[in-house]
Structure formats: C-alpha cells, structure tokens
Amino acid sequence: MKVFIKGLNTCPQRNQKLQQYLAFLRGNGHQIVEAPEAGDVILVWTCGFRADVRDNTLRQLTAYGEHYPGRVVATGCLPRIAPGALAASFDGEIFAWTDDARVLEQKFGTGGLSLAEAEQIYTKPALCADATQFRRDHPEHDVIFHDQFLQVMVAEGCPFHCTYCSERLAFPDFRSFPEAALVAATVARMRETGQKEVILIADCLGEYGRETGSSLVSLVRRLAAEEPEVRVSFSNFHPQHFIEDLDGYLALIRDGRIRHLNLPIQSASDRILRLMARSYTRAALTEAFDRLNQLGFTAFDTHVIVGFPGETDAEFEDTMAFLLRHRPKHVLLSWFMDCEDAPAARLPNPVPAAVMARRSEDAEARLRAAGILCNNEGGEIIQERLRRLNRVGTP
C-alpha cells in the first residue's frame, strides 16, 4: 500500500512516534509517499494541546477528508482529547494513539513486523545553530527551538494528574527508554555529527528513570562521562522535579552541563496551583528560581495558563509578579482550554474569553517591556508556526 503520513503534532516528542510508524510500514512492505494525492491511505497525526492548535487540526482534517474521501485515517492525540469535536468534524476512520499497535498491525502488519519491533531510540541531529535566523532565511521550513540541538527522546507519557491537561488523556503509561541504549545512541550521534549541544525531550522529562532506578541527573552525568563537551537542554521539565533535586540540578548548572531549561510553572498562585493539582507551592518555586537567579543562570523559559477557572485578576497578578521577579528568557502564555474530559472542565467560575484576552495582551505587553520574549495564544508566532506546519501536503 502507498501511505502518506501527515504530522500535525506541534511537539517534537511525537516525531519519535511518526518515525516508528514509518519504520513499521516500510518493514511490512508498504511504500511511503511524499504527497497525499499519491497515497492509498493518508494517516494524519492529530494534535490538541491548546484550543487554537486543536481547531487548526480539526480544520486540516476536515479538508483532508473532503479532498480524499475514504482514504484518510486520523490518529494521535485528539481521539482522546476531543472525541466529540473530532467526530463532528471528520467522518473517516479514527483510532487513538493508545490503540495504535492493535489497529496498525491489523491494517498494515502483513509482513509480520510488530509496531514494538519497529521502535528505535529516537535521535535527530540539529538542523541549525540559531532557529530564529534559520526561520528568517528559510521561511517555508517548519523549524522550531529544538532544531538548534541534537534531539534525544528519553521517555513518553506523564504520571502526574494536572486537572487542566489535555495531553495526558492521550498518553500511554509513562515509560523511560533504557539508559544504556540512550547513552549509546546519543554518543554515536554526537560522534557522527560533531554536535555536542543536546536537548532531551519527553512528555515529563524529570520523571526519567524513576521506574528503572535511574534519574535525569544520572543520565546527564553518564553522557558527560562519555563525551566531556556535551551540554544539555531540558524540555517539559516539571518544576516539582527541579525542586525535589535542586542541589543535583544546580550542580549540573555549575559544572556547565546545562544550556537551557524549560520549566513550565503554569501559575504562581497557591490557590490556582492547588486547583491545577500542581504539586508545588509558590514558596518552593520562589526558592528554586531564586537559586537559579543567584547562579546567574538566565537560559530558562516557562509556560503560564491564563484564565484557569476561578482565577482572579489578583491571582494572575501573583503570577506576573513572579515572572517579572525571576525573568525567564521566554514565556509561553496559553489560555485555559476547556477540554471535554479533563477534570478542570467541571470547575465552577469559568473565566470569560474576553478576560483571558485582556490578561494575556496586558501580560505580553508588560513582559516585552521588561525584555522578556513572549508567545501569546492566537499571536503571530503561533499563527505562523501553524501555517508552516500545515503547508506540507496541504490539500
């Protein structure tokens, strides 16, 4: 069969899944084609971590379904994040990521290769040294922050139960990829490419190794033992993990091992953090970020949710004060998304869209005035990203 794969995933993590699908399909004798019109099957990975991204996926999927009736299959995250909206926009075949082995093996497993057998450690060499410059020079290319680094996927899934999170509804159980295999694959890639700047990716990075007796600090130390020039960036690094082993992580920073940290705080209001089921307090966050600031380490960014149910202007202001005090390099502002099956969708006192818009516009202006880069939901940066993401194979 000829198969066209369209990844609408905005995260780098799911590229590992798409590579596994490619290896599985090829290993079972199918041909991967470059254009949707050439495909007998068009397999679309759907994404919906935020309302604007979910809506983009639904629009794209509807267009694929209309242009290629009977050939489009939707998989990925939306079947669990927004099953109702997905069924209303698309009447083709749908299967959730968590069911992929069963469905794909039934549909394409003619050569006898299982999906698990097609899995390999996912590493991807850096595309450029500076993603912003590369984007200017190649406006057609869907380059993201992570493309500045050699990417290594170390774990999938998330054990936390944040009440707002749409993504965890889609994830399979948390698992870490084996440390020895990760180290061997990363070192081989570093030697092959000469690249020493690595970004470790996962849905919940700090959880790495907890169920296998390892840890993120241990993984970085092992990489450094093999390759003394390695510098590592962390994505999706839950502040709880940072707080729990603050000395271990600060030691990595002092040793020059850390290039960049992505620490999504979501809020700095204690009441909102409790409602979100985030397990840290403002005081613990403040201590951890104070110590980062005291080290003079500035290469960190964060994410904030604007308009969590019941959030008052004063509580949002607590978060703003935290950001302005600790000065991340970059802040991603996301409006609270009412996700069909997430517990927060049942909380009282939803914040009106107009209030979320006012707060995020005001926050963006104040952060930018303070020299902090800001990516606001619905803003030009994400709109441009979605345009680039949609471009390949757009019907």
Q: Interface with ligand SF4 by CB under 6 A: which residues? A: 9-11, 13-14, 47-49, 76-77, 167, 170
Q: CB-wise, 76 or 209, nearer to ligand SF4?
A: 76
Q: Encoding tokens for residue 140?
A: 């057609």
Q: Encoding tokens for residue 259?
A: 């290039």
Three-state DSSP class for residue 365: helix
Q: Encoding tokens for residue 13?
A: 């993590």
Amino acid letter, residue 168: R
Do the beta carbons of residue 85 and residue 59 sit within 8 Å?
no
Cα–Cα distances (Å) from 175 to 117, 158, 205, 247, 263, in that order, read: 16, 8, 11, 25, 21
Three-state DSSP class for residue 150: strand
Q: How far is the CB of 263 from ligand SF4 (least distance, A)?
A: 17
Q: How far is the CB of 339 from ligand SF4 (least distance, A)?
A: 10
Q: How far is the CB of 8 from ligand SF4 (least distance, A)?
A: 8
Q: CB-wise, 170 or 261, nearer to ligand SF4?
A: 170
Q: CB-wise, 9 or 334, nearer to ligand SF4?
A: 9
Q: How far is the CB of 9 from ligand SF4 (least distance, A)?
A: 4
Q: CB-wise, 11 or 121, nearer to ligand SF4?
A: 11
Residue 159 phi/psi, 5° resolution?
-85, -5
CB atoms within 10 A of CB 180: 9
Q: How far is the CB of 227 from ligand SF4 (least distance, A)?
A: 29
Q: CB-wise, 113 or 155, nearer to ligand SF4?
A: 155
Q: CB-wise, 3 or 204, nearer to ligand SF4?
A: 204
State how far Cα 28 lies from the chain centre: 29
Q: How far is the CB of 306 from ligand SF4 (least distance, A)?
A: 18
Q: What is the 3-state secondary structure (H, E, C) of 84-122?
A: HHHHHHCCCEECCHHHHHHHHHHHHHHHCCCCHHHCCCC
